[in-house]
């Protein structure tokens, strides 16, 4: 099966007060750390967002076709860009995500006859921004977007979606505010 990976970096980061993609983490911008994990899992990683950010060596940026329209626009951009069947899409603000965890998502998606695989932590809350989407989901997602839908989980209605229950919430933890970021700021 062919795989690709995309890191969403187009958000406004309004609650953080500064660009989450550029937060310093492990000596690199957070988005680059995430992209390294995505690339290790999928064999490829590109950023989806605005071209004004510096692009680390070995990565490319796909210009967000729907800037300001939320993460569903970024997912659509990735699926329009890809030639791979399975596409790992991860937000740039998930500091605990690992290549091993992401590989587990991709492997599970390939085993099931689905259009998307979304993990859910112990709370059973779906995480659509650390998920695997098949390229064939593009048409239905575009239709939902054209009808005004911007919530990713609602746009998945009508698609075959598998849920992978993750026993720990840590890999799915994202950072939206300075308080969320505080435990990672030293790392």
What domains sit in the chain, N to C, each tagged with a CATH number? 3-181 (3.90.550.10)
SS3 23: coil
Strand partners of residue 117: 132, 162
User: Does residue 26 carry a pLDDT above 70?
Assistant: yes
Summarised one tens digit per residue, pLDDT across range 77-104 is: 999 999 999 999 999 999 999 999 999 9
Summarised one tens digit per residue, pLDDT across range 112-168 is: 999 999 999 999 999 999 999 999 999 999 999 999 999 999 999 999 999 999 999
3-state percent breakdown (helix, strand, coil) of the chain, nearest 5: 35, 20, 45
Summarised one tens digit per residue, pLDDT across range 46-71 is: 999 987 667 777 889 999 999 999 99
Any idea which residue has 């492990």 for tokens? 26
d(CA 59, CA 76): 19
Check: pTM over 0.85? Answer yes or no. yes
Region 40-48: what's the mean pLDDT? 96
Q: Taking a C-beta distance cutoff of 8 angstroms, is the pair 131, 89 a contact?
A: yes
And the tokens for 94?
Answer: 């998930």
Under DSSP, the state recorded for 31 is: H
Q: What is the pLDDT of residue 65?
A: 96
User: Does residue 1 carry a pLDDT above 60?
Assistant: no
Mean pLDDT for the chain overall: 94
Q: Taking a C-beta distance cutoff of 8 angstroms, is the pair 169, 121 a contact?
A: yes
| DSSP-H helix ranges across 2-44 | 30-42
* Phi, psi values for residue 101, rounded to 5°: -65, -45
Under DSSP, the state recorded for 126 is: B
């Amino acid at each position: 099966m062919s795989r690709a990976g995309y890191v969403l970096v187009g958000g406004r980061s309004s609650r953080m007060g500064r660009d989450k993609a550029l937060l310093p983490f492990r000596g690199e911008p957070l988005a680059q750390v995430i992209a390294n994990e995505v690339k290790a899992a999928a064999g490829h990683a590109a950023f989806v967002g605005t071209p004004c950010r510096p692009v680390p060596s070995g990565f490319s940026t796909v210009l967000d076709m729907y800037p300001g329209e939320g993460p569903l626009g970024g997912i659509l951009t990735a699926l329009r860009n890809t030639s791979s069947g399975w596409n790992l899409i991860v937000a740039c603000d998930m500091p605990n995500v690992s290549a091993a965890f992401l590989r587990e998502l991709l492997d599970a998606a390939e085993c099931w006859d689905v259009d998307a695989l979304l993990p859910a932590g112990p709370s059973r809350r779906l995480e659509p921004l650390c998920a695997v989407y098949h390229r064939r989901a593009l048409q239905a997602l575009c239709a939902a977007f054209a009808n005004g839908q911007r919530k990713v989980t609602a746009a998945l209605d009508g698609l075959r979606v598998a849920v992978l229950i993750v026993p720990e919430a840590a890999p799915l933890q994202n950072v939206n505010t300075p308080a969320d970021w505080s435990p990672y700021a030293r790392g």
